[in-house]
Structures are given as C-alpha cells and as structure tokens.
Chain A
Amino acid sequence: MRLIGEGAEARIYAGTILGFGMAIKTRHRKNYRIEILDSELRRLRTRNEARIMLRLAGSGIRVPRLFAVGRFSIYMEMLDGILLRDADIYASHMHSAGVMLGRMHSQNVAHGDFTPANLMLCGRGLYAIDFGLSMMGNSTEEKAIDLLLMKRAVDPKLYKSFIKAYSGSAGAADIIKRSEEMERRGRYQVRTLAAV
C-alpha cells in the first residue's frame, strides 16, 4: 500500500479492491498516550466517522462510498479529482458547496472543517471528504462554525454565492444569524471571561 496523505491523527493509503481504487484511512497509534486511552479514542473516532459517512451517503450527499470499516481503519472509494483548494474556484462551485452543506445540516451533521481543502472536484461533481472532526447532533453553534470556517477560507465574493445557496435549506436563517453573532462576539473575547 502506498501512503498518499498524512494528517495529525490518521494516514491515508491507496489500494485496490475488485479493480476499484480504494483509499484506506487508518488512525495510527500515538505513543505519547497510554495504550488503553489511545485505542479507545481511535476506535470511537473511526466508528463515528464511518457512521456519519453512511448517514450522508444514505441521504444522497456526495461522499466517498464506504467499502468496509475496521477497528481503526475506514476502507472507502478512491476519488479521482482535485481538491477545490488547488483548483480555480468559481461561484458555481461555491453554489454546490452551499447546497451540500445545507443538506448536511438538515441531516444533523456538522462537518467540523468545511473548507476548500476538504472538498473535491470530481467528474460527477463536488464531493465532501474528511469527516474526522464531524459531529452528529442538532447544535446551532457547531453548524454555524461550518459557515465561519468557510468564510475565513475563501474571498468575500465567493462566500456570498455560498451563503446564497446555503440559505435555501431549512433552518438556514437561524444558523446564519448565529454565525454572525459569533463573529461579532469575537473568537477570543468570549473565552477570556472564563480564562482568567
């Protein structure tokens, strides 16, 4: 297997299964943590990520197809495309991203890192990847963070197209409003109250 990517907590390998390209995301052992805590975390996170991918795929959102799930590994379809981060981003891409996030939030999933680095342009359209920081739940705050992260990552004009598409989804108004509130209260000012 060939290593094709490495993050802080997982490595991605390339392989094949029945002639299909396969990506394997493996959460590797962290030596600084005691074994029992480390394996518990890796197991729960792998399971959580796979569950979210299944839920999203089931509701027709474009995510890599899941082949199998191991204790610490997710075996999934290898996408053939380029990261939106590395492409010329057009308003139409941001429109697709906005619609996609709206649908994700309707399924009560917050992505946790919804930026062009985690969106992939493929022949069939835009795919969302990396659900390592995703959460299931109905938290307005978590969903609003998805908007803020995107806002920080692209230029204002593109963000406008994104929000326009996003606002078409159910419950979008509250989440947009919350994201604006969060921005006003400032990332750090809120925390300072508790940090003294």
Chain B
Amino acid sequence: MIVLGLESSAHTFGAGVVKNGRVLANEKSMYRIGSGGMIPAKVARFHAENARFVIEKALESSGLGFVDIEGIGYTKGPGLGPCLQVAQLYAKTMARRLKVGIAPVNHCVAHIEITRHTEGLRDPVMLYVSGGNSQILKLVETPYLHYRVIGETLDIGVGNMLDAFARKMGLDPAWGSSVERCADKGRYIKLPYNVKGMDFSFTGLLTKASGLIEHKESNDLCFSLQETSFSMLCEATERALMLTKSREIGLCGGVAQNKRLADMLRAVAEEHNARFGCAPNEFNADNGAMIAYVAEKMLASGFSIGPEGCDVKQRYRSNEARVFR
C-alpha cells in the first residue's frame, strides 16, 4: 500500500511517502523560530504557504504521482491547533479528491512506532522526549493495544526547558542543539534534581539555572542543565525498565537528537544487558514519513473513517491512541 503522511503539529511541515513499511520519501520545511517562541497563527500561515511544495517534492523524490496514492495519514495531535489544521485540511481534501482512505495519527505514537520499526525493537520501554512532551511508555494489550504512560513530566517537556533556557541565555533557540554545543567542556554546578518514582519535573531546574545566568559561565550552566535533566530522565527510565522487566530501551522525539542523552541512555541499557535503539535524526525530528508509516498500518488493518470524522485534538494523549500491528 502506498500512503502519504502529513505532519504539521509544530514548527515543521512534513510530507512522507511509505510503501509497504518502506520509506520512499521524507520531505520537510521548517519554520525558523525568532526570539519570541512560536506564535501558532504565524506558524500555521507559514505551513499553509509551504504545504503544496513539500507534498509535491515528496512525491517527486518517491518517483510517484498523486494518482498512485492509496491512503493518507495526518497528525491529529498533540500540537498547536492552527498548525494541526493545515495538515488536516490537506489530508481531507486529497482523500476526497483521490477517493482513498484517511487515518488520523497520534504524533507521539508515530515517533515511537517508526523507532521501533527502524531499530527492530519488539516490546521496549520507550523514552519519548520532545519540546512539549516527555514520557516513558510501554505497550499494553488491554483493553486494546496501546501505549501506557508509566512516567512523565509533571510540568514542561525537557525540550521546552532547554529551548527556554537557550532563549534566556541569548543563544540561538534552535531546538536545544545550541545548548548541546555550548555544554562542551563545561564544569558541573549543582542544580535541583527532581525525580518522583517514574515521574520528573523541570520547571524548578529552569528557574534555578535562569537565575544563575548573570553569575556563572554559560558553558558550565549548559553542561549542568543537560547533565541534571538527562540524569533525571535516565533514572526514571531505568526504574521503568526494572519494573516492567523489559529487555529493550528505545529513545525517540526531538530531544533524542542530542548525542549526550543517547549516550547516557545507552549506558543504562548496557548496565542491564538490554538492547538500545534510537532512530536516525531524520525520524526524531518531526516528519511526515512516521505519520505515513502508522497510517499505512491503520488502513491496512481495516481502520476506516470518512473525512467528516477526521478532527484535530490539541491535547491528544499518547495513551488515547489505538496501536495497530
């Protein structure tokens, strides 16, 4: 089955083409965030202006035409309302015109599923870390197959925390990667460490680190911020691994592109003789291919819903979405 997937939950508009589980194309255009963060309506307009070109480019690089598409997937949520609506509108319109099936996909589940696919993980404990979300999840069968949240942030996502700090420091707020670069050769400064069982929180850490900006070296702060927050995530994931007795750890989401975090979590896995998997960066950044991948599985297993039933949901939790084999 050839499926087109559209993603526009935040700053990226992505279009991907998947055929029988194989990614044929994965194109995107990214909104450059200025000093003030994302203004949903502005980002949505940017997506609306770029959507057509991104979709055409994806089809071009897959060597297919519009008429070859046999199904369409789009991100239902979670994300920014006005942004989500762009992919939704394109998906519904195309599904009507092409008379093909349409599938609303959960963004978090798509990140997890594509990682499980590329890394060959069967039943891992997944750490999903992005701007707005930070969760530890695992598949459960009942009452239907879905991801259960076994631990998560009690306030903001870790990516959000790193970005907010980068902005306050006057660094380039480019999805935390500026903090990673700045952290090089830093020395450790004590910051609040907050893990409760398998949950964690980041606002105290952000407040404390922000208050030190005037008094400490920037690379020391970035280093300590990363070390502290990533240690919290690793500790909670390790606890989840022991509790669930799983033999695999997966890492996905935007912050999974951070090399230090991947190295730390790999060390956790090694200590417990568990396998570790983290997808290539292309799939950890927001992208359309992961949406197409999940949509194909949904449509192939008989999921069917008319374009009328296709909504967006800003707070679409990962544990609300049904997973298809």
On whether the beta carbons of B242 and A195 are closer than 8 Å, the reply is no
On whether the beta carbons of A33 and B78 are closer than 8 Å, the reply is no
- Residues in chain A near residue B268, CB distance under 8 A: 32
When the two chains form the complex, which single residue of A32, A36, A191, A194 contacts B234, counting CB atoms closer than 8 Å? A32
On whether the beta carbons of B271 and A195 are closer than 8 Å, the reply is no
Q: How many of B's residues come within 8 Å of A, CB to CB?
A: 33
On whether the beta carbons of B231 and A37 are closer than 8 Å, the reply is yes
B325 contacts partner chain A, Cβ-Cβ < 8 Å: no
Binds A, one of B44-52, B53-61, B166-174, B312-320: B312-320
Known A32-B264, A33-B227, A195-B153: A40·B242 in contact at CB below 8 Å: no
- Residues in chain B near residue A36, CB distance under 8 A: 188
Contacts between the two chains (Cβ within 8 Å), count = 64
- Residues in chain B near residue A112, CB distance under 8 A: 197
- Residues in chain A near residue B238, CB distance under 8 A: 8, 30
On whether the beta carbons of B239 and A31 are closer than 8 Å, the reply is no
B85 contacts partner chain A, Cβ-Cβ < 8 Å: no
On whether the beta carbons of B242 and A194 are closer than 8 Å, the reply is no
B145 contacts partner chain A, Cβ-Cβ < 8 Å: no
Known A32-B265, A196-B315: A191·B132 in contact at CB below 8 Å: no
On whether the beta carbons of A195 and B234 are closer than 8 Å, the reply is no
Within 8 A of B (CB), among A132-152: 133
Docked complex Cα distance between A40 and B149 (Å): 29
Docked complex Cα distance between A33 and B263 (Å): 11
On whether the beta carbons of B231 and A8 are closer than 8 Å, the reply is no
Q: How far is the CB of A133 from chain B (nearest CB, A)?
A: 7
Interface size band for A: 20 to 34
- Residues in chain A near residue B190, CB distance under 8 A: 40
Known A133-B197, A191-B154: A34·B317 in contact at CB below 8 Å: no
A188 contacts partner chain B, Cβ-Cβ < 8 Å: yes
On whether the beta carbons of A194 and B154 are closer than 8 Å, the reply is yes
Known A33-B234, A196-B78: A191·B188 in contact at CB below 8 Å: no
Known A32-B231, A37-B228, A133-B197: A192·B242 in contact at CB below 8 Å: no
- Residues in chain B near residue A8, CB distance under 8 A: 235, 238-239, 242-243
Docked complex Cα distance between A133 and B235 (Å): 13
Q: Which residue of A lies closest to B242 (CB)?
A: A8
- Per-residue interface assignment for chain B, residues 223 to 241, with 1 indicating a CB less than 8 Å from any chain A CB and 0 otherwise: 0000110010011001100
On whether the beta carbons of B152 and A191 are closer than 8 Å, the reply is yes
Give the interface of A toward B (CB within 8 A). Answer: 7-9, 30-34, 36-38, 40-41, 112-113, 133, 188, 191-192, 194-196
Considering the complex of A and B, which 3 residue pairs feature the smallest CB-CB distances, nearest first? A32-B267, A8-B239, A32-B264
